[in-house]
Amino acid sequence: MMDRDNFEKLMTEVKDFVNNKVRPFAGKFEEEEAVPLSLIKEMAERKYLAAPFPAEIGGLELDQVQYGLLTHEIGKGCPSVRALLTVHTSLVGQTLLRMANQEQKDKWLPLLAKGEKIAAFGLTEPDVGTDAKSVQTRYEKQGDHFVITGRKKWITYGHLADVFVIIARNEENVSAFLVERDRENLRTTPIKGLLASRAAYIAEIELNAVRVPEENVIGNLGQGFSYIVNTALDYGRYSIAWAGVSLAEAALEEMVKYARNRSQFGQKLYKFQLIHEMIANAVTKVQTAKSICLQAGEQRNNNADEAIMTTTIAKYYSSKIAMEVATDAVQLHGGNGCCNQYPVERLFREAKIFEIIEGTSQIQQEIISMYGLKKYNRK
């Protein structure tokens, strides 16, 4: 955990970085369909890519609340930039910190911390999304190697990554493997025509009998879903929970800015009562979602039994309010809200993604309802 004074100093630095080098160029990143490599390099030099990692491997040693607040600030600037933290740092980095063996940690974590290697998480497939237990990518043992064949789709930073965590199955055994990009018969193809996340190097990965050594197995064979996937998705949901708050807050800021500057019927928009209602609702939703994320972060710091469920609730609620606030932001902008000259058009499209990734809202509702049926059952 970073002490309070140093964390406040860090967050001042992060805000300056976002306001000067991220937020003004978010639209350009989307047009060019790429977060610049120079920006990623600078994030690595600032240790943002290793924010929750231990200092001995180049990290900032942020606790879960602090890490959430950092990702929140970066997410306000550009969701595609923040997405790198979700996949590289949370889904892969934090999962390796918890689940990899010492040799794997010693080899990969310093490289990930420095940004010398970028990582992505290969779970979703063309015909398999939320039903992660049903992955169709296969592996088989051949001597001292494993051979992996299959396709992964919608992989964030997949077209840029140097190493992937690939989830594959052999009969009923689901396992996780570290697979380097330079392995023979591995190919990535960028996915175009996306609703959002256009700058996040989203790709399809093809593995055609890719050979990886035994030492690339993460954890034990057969534990890929119950341990690796569930651990990674928990980290991912926490990151996306904060992402929802960051997008909703960015949309709220745009609402307030526009309402204060736009005049209709001889007065500023913010003078109208129904505009008051929209802004009041947005403020309430943002503050509530942020409070749930802070609660989840505190529980995660304390290894509380409720941490995973609170994280699930936070992901569900923040993705929901991100869509609602972004929708109201477009409405408040009127016709201008439908034009990419205003950030709310992009924020509206980006918000929808959060209701789908890291478990759809419908799946989160199922999980939360089962929890509620047990916890609130009066006998």
What is the chain's mean pLDDT, rounded? 96
CATH number of the domain where residue 13 is located: 1.10.540.10
- pLDDT average, residue stretch 35-50: 98
Residue type, 60: L
Last residue of a domain, one of 67, 90, 118: 118
- Return the H-helix or E-strand segment holding 234: helix 230-261
Ramachandran bin of 268, using left for φ above 0, alpha for ψ from -120 to 50, beta for the remaining angles? beta
pLDDT over 90 at 131, yes or no: no
Identify the pLDDT of residue 308. Answer: 96
How far is Cα 359 from Cα 379, in angstroms, rounded to an integer? 32
Q: What pLDDT is attached to residue 224?
A: 87
Give tens-digit pLDDT for 52-73: 999 999 999 999 999 999 999 9
Q: Write the pLDDT tens digit of every residue in 142-190.
A: 999 999 999 999 999 999 999 999 999 999 899 999 999 999 999 999 9
Looking at the fold, whether 339 and 200 belong to one and the same domain comes out as no
189, 220, 251 - which closes a domain: 220
CATH number at residue 195: 2.40.110.10
Calculate ∠ Cα 1-98-40, nearest 5°: 70
Q: What pLDDT is recorded for position 129?
A: 79
Calculate what percentage of the chain has a pLDDT beyond 70: 100
Mean pLDDT of 247-266: 95
Catalytic residues, which ones?
358
pLDDT value at residue 231:
93
**Domain end position, chosen among 118, 142, 158:** 118
Residue 66 pLDDT? 98
The answer on pLDDT for 351 being more than 70 is yes
Q: Are residues 193 and 182 in the same domain?
A: yes
Q: Are 216 and 260 in the same domain? A: no
Q: DSSP letter string over 323-379?
A: HHHHHHHHHHHGGGGGSTTSHHHHHHHHHHHHTTTTS-HHHHHHHHHHHHHHHT---
Distance (Å, whole) CA 250 – CA 344: 9
- Tell me what the mean pLDDT of segment 217-222 comes to: 94
CA distance 252 to 241: 17
Nearest-CA neighbor of 321 among 281, 359, 349, 357?
281
> What range defines the domain where residue 201 resides?
120-220
Mark whether 75 and 155 lie in a shared domain.
Answer: no
Is this structure's pTM higher than 0.85?
yes
pLDDT at site 124: 94
189 and 151 together in one domain: yes
The label of the residue with tokens 């990734």 reads 357
The reply to whether 214 and 279 lie within a common domain is no
Domain CATH code at residue 242? 1.20.140.10
Please write the tens of the pLDDT for every residue from 100-111: 999 999 999 999
Please indicate, yes or no, whether residues 57 and 155 belong to a single structural domain of this protein: no
pLDDT at 130: 67
- On whether both 127 and 240 belong to a single domain, the answer is no
Show the tokens assigned to 151.
């396709």
89 and 129 share one domain: no
User: Do residue 65 and residue 137 come from a single domain?
Assistant: no
Average of per-residue pLDDT across 323-339:
97
Residue 202's alpha-carbon distances to 71, 125, 217, in angstroms, are 20, 13, 24
User: What mean pLDDT comes out for the span 202-221?
Assistant: 97
CB contact burial 178-212 (16+ within 10 A = b; e otherwise): bbebeeeebebeebeebebbbbbbbbbbbbeebbb
Dist CA 177 CA 145 (whole Å): 11
Q: How far apart are CA 25 and CA 168, in angstroms?
A: 38
Say if residue 133's pLDDT is above 80: no
What letter represents residue 355's amino acid? E
Per-residue pLDDT at 359? 86
Tokens at residue 275, please?
Answer: 């505009």
pLDDT tops 90 at residue 285: yes
In the predicted model, what is the mean pLDDT of residues 344-349? 98
- Domain total for the chain? 3
Do 184 and 104 fall within a single domain? no
Q: How many residues does the chain have?
A: 379
Domain match, 252 and 298 both: yes
Confidence of residue 358 (pLDDT cuts 50, 70, 90): confident
